[in-house]
Amino acid sequence: MAFKAKKLKFTYSQKEKLKSKKLIEQMFANGQSVSAFPLRLVYLPTTFDEAIVAKTGVSVSKRNFKTAVDRNRIKRLMREVYRLNKASYFNNMTTQYAFMILYIGKEKPNLTQLEARMSHLFGKFLKKVSETEKLQGDDIA
């Protein structure tokens, strides 16, 4: 069954949130990652019942940010940047992915810093994915 991508909207619905504990554990065990400091993206190609491109979760280290207020603020900013820019990242994708975006920095970011770093991060991700698809295509031919 091939996945057919639709034009993405500027939403971050419940269907798009990564909540499966099994999938998260599998992602950290078998997934790949790319980094663009202070962000790290762990991803795993997978399939979902829903017609969505990606399920995404965000995480901030308790070690670096002791108060929940700071962690929640950073997570809220990361989700907002993802929501606003996901259409430009995923409009041409045909494979479904599970993502976990980790904030690994020690300073509190602002929205513009996160936006710049996340676009760089997903640029690296798309480049890495296109290289692996190209290599797999060469192996088949």
DSSP string computed for 68-86: HHHHHHHHHHHHHHHHHHH
Under the banding of pLDDT at 50, 70 and 90, the label for residue 17 is very high
Would you say residue 134 has pLDDT above 80?
A: no
Q: Which residue has the higher pLDDT, 10 or 57?
A: 57
Least confident stretch, 52-56, 97-101, 114-118: 52-56
pLDDT of 21 above 80: yes
Query: Looking at residues 34-54, what average pLDDT do you find?
Result: 93
> What is the spatial distance between Cα 2 and Cα 32, in angstroms, rounded to a whole number?
23
Residue tagged 């296109």 (tokens):
130
Answer for the pair 47, 21: CB distance below 8 angstroms, yes or no: no
Q: Which domains does the chain have, with CATH numbers?
A: 14-129 (3.30.230.10)
In the chain, how many H helices and how many E strands?
A: 3, 4
Contact 64, 17 (CB under 8 A): no
pTM score of the predicted model = 0.87
Which of 82, 103, 97, 104 is closest to 129 using CA atoms?
A: 97
73, pLDDT greater than 90? yes
Q: Provide the percentage of residues in the chain whose pLDDT is more than 90.
A: 70
Asked whether residue 108 carries a pLDDT value surpassing 80, the answer given is yes
Length of the chain: 141
pLDDT recorded at residue 102? 97
pLDDT over 80 (residue 105): yes
Q: Are 136 and 95 in contact (CB under 8 A)?
A: no
The reply to whether omega before 45 is within 30° of 0 (cis) is: no
pLDDT at site 3? 46
- Angstrom distance (rounded) from CA 42 to CA 31: 6
